[in-house]
């Protein structure tokens, strides 16, 4: 059998870059004399951006402020300092007038940052005697070898590794499968530049979904000069909440895992939704804010009314409930872990849809654009409830919605863009690697998304419930175990934890973590990252 490399990483997007950068940082300055080898399997030509942060229109914005974006879990200002170090030219390149920590910057700018993170971790690894190599191929199958290694099957041959980390990213949506392959149908809005290039400016466009992905698609079309009508539909017809532009007067202290566990201890019956609500209400009160359920749930009957309320509220109030919800990211997987099964089912049945709408906020700049499209008549947002249906017909598609009289009404569009978001349903996925893992019993589906994992290590649980100790998972396919794996900061933190464990196995002594990127001094290159706060 071919020599086993020490580590293989499947997927080369933001989570993989974060994991590898933090692994190299955790190894410190200990030399490995060329004994360690890491392979990264990524079909795209670049490692780092993945599809979410690939080159695209500048209108496609991050939904997290620049000052909180980072590949490093314990250095949240890393991205911001990278921009400052690059100077005004990098902002000019992406049409950004000025840099602020609170700014929502183009996603492709963050992608360029991730390319630099990848390049620098590779240089740093070489100085440590660790060889990191990009294999530009997909992995179609994985098997466990009798000697304890892992075989990775790819179109360019088989590879073998002692340990494997799956960072294979988002699965394509499985909704509206009957529309796949129909002329004029897009199964994803990304890259949004492709929508703007392909869809005629006067075409009638239907957007399935009213969440963050739908906003990206709408803004991309309209900012690129699209003048035809756009109809965005979802079952609820609700847009996400608008992120408040007003800073909370009192900083919100993130809860710890110990605090979360203490709530369960008082309840004595596992962590209930009622206990979580009471805990978060107390955090809100400690920040000097009143519990305003109407603001938390949102006001207005139509999408236009709700958006108007959101814009006013987020322009004039700190909306501390948003800050409290965001602070939960530091321990959210522990909340999910401690909830009994009955409470999890209750959350998914009664509250998950509302949570996704209110927790996944979008920036004020895009909110104002959407408001302008609604007022100008170029955009309509409708709720389909349970009657929403879409079918392919001659010359386009028919969207059936409840009419004003309660009867179903049909609307014809030339194009359909599916913006319902990614899928974490591995059981329904056609992805060859996912199918291989499930068919072999190496992995099994989690009912709440992704694969079933061992909580403490992120390693797969096989079909018999045993821990597969040399295969772990990061990113969206860890959703059933860690819940909020759609957030960069949560994924970076989980990546740091896995990186620390592997670094400890590789090194006889691991000292306390140094400030991130200290060992990868970038002063030797024009794209260097400063090591101290500006």
d(CA 205, CA 200): 9
Question: Measuring CA to CA, which residue among 454, 451, 485, 491 is closest to residue 469?
Answer: 454
State the residue range of the domain holding 305: 257-359
Residue 169 resides in a domain:
no
Residue 268: pLDDT band (50, 70, 90) is: low
Are 268 and 316 within one domain?
Answer: yes
Give the DSSP letter string of 369-433.
Answer: HHHHHHHHTSEEEEE-TT--EEEEETTEEEEEEE-TTSSEEEEEESEEEE-S--B--GGG---HH
Q: Is the pLDDT of residue 257 over 80?
A: yes
Q: Where are the beta strands (DSSP E) in 215-364?
A: 230-234
Q: How far apart are CA 251 and CA 265, in angstroms?
A: 27
Residue 509 located in a structural domain: no
230-244: pLDDT as tens digits:
999 999 999 999 999
- The three-state (H, E, C) secondary structure of 155-184, written as one string: CCEEEEEEEEEECCCCECCCCCHHHCCCCC
- Per-residue pLDDT of 457-509, as tens digits, reads 999 999 999 999 999 999 999 999 999 999 999 999 999 999 999 999 998 64
Q: pTM of the full predicted structure?
A: 0.91
Look at residue 507 and give its three-state secondary structure.
coil
Whether residues 281 and 353 share a domain: the answer is yes
Q: Are both 355 and 367 inside the same structural domain? A: no
* Dihedral sign computed on CA atoms, order 330, 273, 242, 18: positive
**pLDDT surpasses 80 at 30:** no
What is the structure's pLDDT at 121?
A: 97
Torsion, CA 308, CA 313, CA 315, CA 317, rounded to 10: 180
Residue 8, SS3?
Answer: strand
Q: How large is the average pLDDT for residues 105-121?
A: 97
Q: Does position 518 have pLDDT exceeding 70, yes or no?
A: no
Burial 51-82 (b: 16+ CB within 10 A, else e): bbbbebbbbbbbbbbbbbbbbbbebbbbbbbb
The DSSP letter of residue 251 is P
386 pLDDT above the threshold of 90: no
Does one domain contain both 219 and 367? yes
Task: Flag whether 221 is in a domain.
Answer: yes
CB 329 within 8 A of CB 252: no
Distances (CA, A) of 15 to 21, 50, 467, 478: 10, 9, 22, 12
Alpha-carbon gap, residue 176 to 431, rounded angstroms: 17
Cβ within 8 Å of residue 188, ≥6 positions away: 172, 173, 213, 418, 419
Whether 264 and 332 map to the same domain: the answer is yes
Distance CA 350, CA 358 (A): 14
Percent of the chain with pLDDT over 90: 84
Phi-psi category of residue 61: left, alpha or beta, with phi > 0 → left and psi -120 to 50 → alpha: beta
Q: Is residue 8 in a domain? A: no
Number of domains forming the structure of the chain:
2
Same domain, 367 and 329: no
Where is 454: in which H helix or E strand? none
- Mean pLDDT, residues 450-455: 98
Residue 408: give its domain's CATH number: 3.50.50.60
Which tens digit of pLDDT belongs to each residue from 174-231?
899 999 999 999 999 999 999 999 999 999 999 999 999 999 999 999 999 999 999 9
Residue 292 makes CB contacts below 8 A (sequence gap 6+) with 321
Q: Can you tell me the distance from the alpha carbon of 310 to that of 416, in angstroms, rounded to the nearest whole number?
A: 27
Helical spans, DSSP H, in 7-71: 14-26
On whether residue 407 sits in a domain, the answer given is yes
Q: Are strands 141-144 and 150-154 parallel, antiparallel or unpaired?
A: antiparallel
């Amino acid at each position: 059998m071919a020599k086993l490399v020490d580590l293989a990483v499947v997927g080369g997007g933001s989570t993989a870059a974060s994991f590898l950068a933090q692994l190299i940082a955790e190894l410190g300055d200990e030399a490995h004399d060329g004994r360690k080898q890491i392979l990264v399997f990524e079909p795209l030509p670049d490692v780092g951006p993945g599809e979410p942060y690939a080159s695209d229109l500048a209108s496609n914005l991050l939904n997290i402020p620049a000052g909180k974006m980072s590949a490093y879990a314990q250095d949240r200002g890393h991205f911001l300092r990278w921009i400052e170090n690059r100077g005004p030219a990098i902002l000019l390149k992406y049409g950004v007038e000025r840099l602020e920590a609170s700014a929502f910057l183009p996603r492709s700018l963050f992608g360029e940052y991730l390319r630099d993170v990848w390049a620098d971790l590779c240089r740093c690894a070489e100085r440590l005697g660790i060889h990191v190599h990009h294999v530009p191929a997909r992995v179609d199958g994985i098997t466990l070898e009798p000697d304890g290694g892992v075989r990775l099957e790819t179109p360019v041959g088989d590879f073998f590794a002692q340990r494997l980390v799956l960072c294979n990213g988002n699965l394509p949506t499985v909704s509206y499968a009957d529309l796949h392959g129909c002329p004029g149908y897009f199964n994803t809005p990304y890259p949004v530049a492709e929508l703007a290039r392909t869809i005629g400016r006067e075409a009638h466009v239907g957007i399935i979904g009213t969440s963050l992905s739908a906003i990206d698609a709408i803004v991309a079309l309209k900012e690129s000069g699209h003048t035809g009508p756009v109809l965005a539909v979802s079952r609820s017809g609700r847009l996400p909440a608008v992120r408040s532009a007003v800073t909370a007067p009192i900083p919100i202290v993130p809860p710890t895992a110990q605090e979360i566990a203490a709530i369960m201890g008082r309840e004595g019956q596992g962590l209930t939704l009622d206990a979580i609500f009471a805990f978060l209400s107390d955090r809100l009160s400690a920040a000097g804010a009143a519990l305003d359920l109407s603001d938390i749930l949102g006001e207005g009957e139509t999408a236009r009314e709700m958006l108007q309320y959101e814009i006013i509220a987020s322009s004039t109030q700190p909306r501390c409930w948003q800050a409290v919800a965001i602070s939960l990211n530091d321990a959210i997987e522990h909340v999910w872990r401690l909830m009994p099964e009955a409470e999890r089912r209750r959350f998914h049945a009664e509250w998950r849809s509302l949570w996704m709408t209110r927790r996944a906020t979008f920036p004020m700049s895009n909110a104002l654009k959407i408001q302008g499209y609604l007022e100008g008549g170029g955009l309509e947002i409708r709720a389909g409830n349970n009657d929403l249906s879409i079918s392919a017909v001659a010359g386009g598609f028919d969207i059936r919605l409840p009419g004003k009289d309660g009867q179903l009404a049909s609307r014809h569009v030339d194009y359909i863009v599916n913006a319902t978001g990614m899928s974490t349903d591995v059981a329904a996925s056609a992805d060859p690697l996912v199918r291989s893992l499930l068919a072999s019993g190496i992995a099994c589906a989690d009912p709440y998304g992704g694969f079933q994992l061992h909580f403490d290590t992120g390693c797969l649980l096989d079909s018999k419930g045993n821990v597969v100790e040399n295969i772990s998972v990061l990113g969206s396919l860890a959703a059933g175990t860690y819940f909020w794996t759609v957030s960069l900061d949560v994924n970076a933190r989980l990546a740091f934890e896995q990186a620390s464990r592997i670094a400890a196995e590789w090194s006889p002594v691991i000292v306390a973590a140094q400030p991130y990127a200290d060992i990868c001094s970038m002063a030797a290159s024009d794209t260097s990252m400063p090591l101290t706060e500006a």
